[in-house]
Amino acid sequence: MSGKAKTLRMRKTTVNSFINYAMVIVLFVVTQILIGQGAVSNTIQSMLVPVCCYVVMAVSLNLTVGILGELSLGHAGFMSLGAFSGIITAAVLKDAVASEPLRLAIAMVVGGIFGCIGGVIIGLPVLRLRGDYLAIVTLAFGEIIKNVIQVLYIGLDENGLHFATKESNMVMSEAGTFVVRGPMGATGVTRLSSFAAGFILILITLFVVQNLVDSRAGRAILSLRDNRIAAESVGISVTKYKLMAFVISAVLAGMAGALYGLNYSSTVASKFDFNTSILVLVYVVLGGLGSIRGSIIAAAVLTLLPELLRNGTINEYRMLIYAVILILVMLVTNNPTLRGAVDLIAKKIRSIGKKEKAEGGAQ
């Protein structure tokens, strides 16, 4: 009996994870086929890498907001750290590493490391705070990162990197070029990102987050969300596991940032502002707190939606329609009556499936 119960239970979580992997893989393959047939417009094609980045951002933020249960409003800050450190790394390694995918991979790892450093620096003091305070400090952090990068000038010449806070103070040889130019951001970036790289990053993110949640550390993180006092009473270190979830989330955001930064020839720091943090939070909330599949779908659909609405007569109203759709989804997911109806349908479908399974088992 217990053995059977175990395999059933194992199957439930594992099946859920595998559905997510399968969904991402199928979407990737279908998109590639459509691109091959020329059925995907150029605008949509140019959206594919950002979609991957936002999916990774949403899944990683879900780890903090949905699974750890702490509201973070500075997730774009980590993305920004990753983007600029990734761009600089790629620029430095331009001659040293000839292979573009390898350079992109190294840049993403460096982006992740910077995300990690940022996560630890912010997380250590901030995670001792609770609720609103945490939200406010993370919000401030995102703004600080943005403002620091806006006054940062980074030049590259044969002697290496040079830093300055004013353009006139920059000392470098004549062959040197600016990598980051204050408010102008990073310019002249070699575009390295590809849809395939984004796809791999999504798979890595799913692997890390799903396996983490379904392990001892993940249960500890979930227990902090459900009841902090009880979690402490069974010997779970609050700071350790909060920091763990927060830093992993920041690392993934940093990697997504590097991918995002290397997708455009120029990137400005103000791209990663409060609005972007909120946008990602909207994906997480709409997809369902704690639901990884929801985050993937919400991020992908909502990133593409404004572009899909861009054609023809509704072009002028596209942001209006976008807002209405957001409100409708919020209403449907939070309205008990509507939700009850949706649950009922889901239950019926499930019971039909179960009946078939039971009949199959009897034979």
Question: Residue 289 interacts with another protein (CB under 8 A)?
Answer: no
Beta-strand pair 160-164/177-181? unpaired
Q: Kindly state the smallest distance separating residue 20's Cβ from another protein, in Å.
A: 16
Binding mask 94-133 for another protein (x = CB under 8 A): ----------------------------------------
Within residues 305-344, the interface with another protein by CB under 8 A covers none
349: tokens are 């479908």
* Comparison of 230 and 321: residue with beta carbon closer to another protein: 230
Binding mask 155-194 for another protein (x = CB under 8 A): ----------------------------------------
Cα 193–chain centre separation? 16
**CA Rg, the chain, in Å?**
22
Q: Kindly state the smallest distance separating residue 257's Cβ from another protein, in Å.
A: 21
* Comparison of 156 and 231: residue with beta carbon closer to another protein: 231
Q: Kindly state the smallest distance separating residue 311's Cβ from another protein, in Å.
A: 43
Within residues 228-287, the interface with another protein by CB under 8 A covers 229-238, 244
DSSP letter (8 states) at residue 296: H
Please name the residue ranges forming H helices in the chain. Answer: 2-36, 42-62, 75-92, 100-126, 132-150, 195-213, 216-226, 228-233, 238-261, 274-287, 292-308, 318-334, 336-362
Within residues 187-226, the interface with another protein by CB under 8 A covers 207-208, 211-212, 214-220, 222-223, 226
* Comparison of 205 and 303: residue with beta carbon closer to another protein: 205
* Comparison of 1 and 362: residue with beta carbon closer to another protein: 1
Distances 245 to 231, 240, 251 between C-alpha atoms, Å: 15, 9, 10
Q: Kindly state the smallest distance separating residue 108's Cβ from another protein, in Å.
A: 18
CA angle 247, 80, 100 (to 5 degrees): 95
153: tokens are 């000038």
Distances 350 to 45, 172, 283, 343 between C-alpha atoms, Å: 37, 67, 27, 10
Q: Kindly state the smallest distance separating residue 116's Cβ from another protein, in Å.
A: 14
Task: Give the type of residue at 185.
Answer: G
Q: Kindly state the smallest distance separating residue 4's Cβ from another protein, in Å.
A: 11
* Comparison of 204 and 304: residue with beta carbon closer to another protein: 204
* Comparison of 166 and 216: residue with beta carbon closer to another protein: 216
7: tokens are 């395999």
* Contacts of residue 216, Cβ cutoff 8 Å, sequence gap at least 6: none
Helix (H) or strand (E) holding 164: strand 160-164
Alpha carbon distance 259, 241 (integer Å) = 27
Binding mask 1-20 for another protein (x = CB under 8 A): xx--xx-xx-----------
Distances 76 to 8, 132, 187, 220, 316 between C-alpha atoms, Å: 39, 18, 20, 26, 28
* Comparison of 218 and 287: residue with beta carbon closer to another protein: 218
Q: Kindly state the smallest distance separating residue 120's Cβ from another protein, in Å.
A: 15
Q: Kindly state the smallest distance separating residue 245's Cβ from another protein, in Å.
A: 10
How many residues bind to another protein according to rule CB under 8 A? 32
Distances 266 to 83, 101, 181, 228 between C-alpha atoms, Å: 11, 19, 11, 44
Q: Kindly state the smallest distance separating residue 361's Cβ from another protein, in Å.
A: 18
* Comparison of 31 and 210: residue with beta carbon closer to another protein: 210
* Comparison of 154 and 245: residue with beta carbon closer to another protein: 245
Contact positions vs another protein (CB under 8 A): 1-2, 5-6, 8-9, 207-208, 211-212, 214-220, 222-223, 226-227, 229-238, 244
